[in-house]
Amino acid sequence: MKRLNHNHHLSLYFIVIIAIFSGIMAYVRLQNSSQLRHNFYRQWHKDYVVKVNQQESFIDTTPKTETRTALSEGQGYGMYIAVLSAKRKWSKKEYFDQLNNFYLKHRETINKDKTALMSWRAVENNGHWTINKNSATDGDLFIAQALLLASKQWHDDKYQKEAHAILQDILRYEYNPDTETLTVGDWADSKSKYYNLMRTSDVMPEFFDNFYQETGDKRWLVIKNTMLKRLNQLSHQNKTGLVPDFAWVSKNDAQPVKPKTISTENDGYYSANACRVPMMLAGCNDRSAQNTLKRMLKFFSKRNTITAGYTLKGKPLNKYQSASFSAPIFYAVSFNRNEGYDDLFMSQQYIFTRHLPQNNYYDAALTTMAALDADKL
């Protein structure tokens, strides 16, 4: 009987020890994860956030060069990252305000009307700024989402009013009611040959849901459903499930553009714009969004190495890896664990074993967003 009690006590002892050890390991992993996220944010802020003065700052998209370039896309990413980091108490309201003030100072004027859209590029050289007019829809969408998040983070109605203003102007200047999709910018108006052009990475269903909830404007739901449908049509045109950077859209269809239609010879391939699509679809539970995403993840899960870009039939465009392609995939898989893509989750974590690049704002921004906002890390 004593022998049995002794064994019983030993068993309880080992169970307690294992439980304590597991708890310690979980705590250490949590601490390491938190520290990793913090380190990436601090490095990103140090390398890319540039103060103009005490009131303004911008994201330098061309560091290590003689000129400094601010893009609306970069500013939107910066404002978004500032709010995400503030939620973890790593950033201050002051930092967000400086980025926001730069955006407010560089809003578009269209036909003498001051809008809430941001001019897509501003270049500084020896203290002189050159502003490139026209807007870019992807940047405006991120700015709007960041402002809405900021209004909740700091309980400041000012941000909400600014968000509503830019959302109103996105619908006024960057929306095609004929195709019920967003255009690529205010310059692609009804008089432009690019009026029916869609940038696939502008399909941001979670943002659209948030915009509808905030404004009550049902056009955001129409945009969400229509753009998801067009994206899914593009995905089903190839066995790979990949979508192009840009596509021509009509009321019922979407087709990839040809090379050099708008930007580069890779316009019709899964390249520097479409690489963001997995990140944009990751948290959306819509059946169409999940179908498109999982077709893409299935393709990537069969690759030994994921390289920087593919034709829609799956031929690599480059031999090298790139964080701007891997970070969105990692982010997407973090929302879809135990669904057959866990090898991708492990393989794409290589982006967190390296320092953020100091001369590639795009890679750095997408990696930092993935680190701060991924469901599991």
Reported as a single tens digit per residue, the pLDDT across 106-138 is 999 998 899 999 999 999 998 889 999 899 999
Overall average pLDDT of the 206-228 stretch: 98
- Chain centre to alpha carbon of residue 104: 21
Residues 6+ apart with CB under 8 A from 298: 241, 340, 341
Whole-angstrom Cα distance, residue 153 to residue 87? 7
Structure letter (DSSP) for residue 67: S
Partners of 57 in the β-ladder: 51
Cα torsion 305, 307, 311, 315 to 10°: value is -40
Whole-angstrom Cα distance, residue 59 to residue 46? 11
* Six token digits for residue 59: 């994201």
Q: Is the pLDDT of residue 26 over 90?
A: no
* Six token digits for residue 249: 């859209």
Residue corresponding to tokens 């129409």? 222
DSSP letter string over 223-282? HHHHHHHHHHHHHTTSTT----SEEEE-SS-EEEPPTTSSSSTTTTSB-TTGGGHHHHHT
Reduce the DSSP state of residue 106 to 3 states and report it: coil
Helices (H), 302-374: 323-334, 342-347, 361-373
Give the N- to C-terminal CA distance of the chain in Å, as an integer.
Answer: 49
Residues 6+ apart with CB under 8 A from 213: none
What is the value of pTM for the model shown? 0.91
Q: How confident is the model at residue 377 (pLDDT cuts 50, 70, 90)?
A: low
Whole-angstrom Cα distance, residue 211 to residue 282? 18
Q: What are phi and psi of 70, to 5 degrees?
A: -105, 130
Residues 6+ apart with CB under 8 A from 158: 151
The fraction of the chain above a pLDDT of 70, given in percent, is: 91
Whole-angstrom Cα distance, residue 7 to residue 34? 40
Residue corresponding to tokens 């001051």? 114
Partners of 255 in the β-ladder: 248
Residue 376: count of CB within 10 angstroms of its CB = 9
C-alpha separations of 318 from 125, 167, 325 in Å: 33, 37, 12
Overall average pLDDT of the 267-272 stretch: 98
Reported as a single tens digit per residue, the pLDDT across 273-286 is 999 999 999 999 99
Do 119 and 134 touch, CB atoms closer than 8 A? yes
Reported as a single tens digit per residue, the pLDDT across 219-235 is 999 999 999 999 999 99
Do 56 and 124 touch, CB atoms closer than 8 A? no
Q: How confident is the model at residue 11 (pLDDT cuts 50, 70, 90)?
A: low
- Chain centre to alpha carbon of residue 139: 10
Q: Is the pLDDT of residue 25 over 60?
A: no
Cα torsion 66, 71, 77, 83 to 10°: value is 90
Residue 9: count of CB within 10 angstroms of its CB = 10
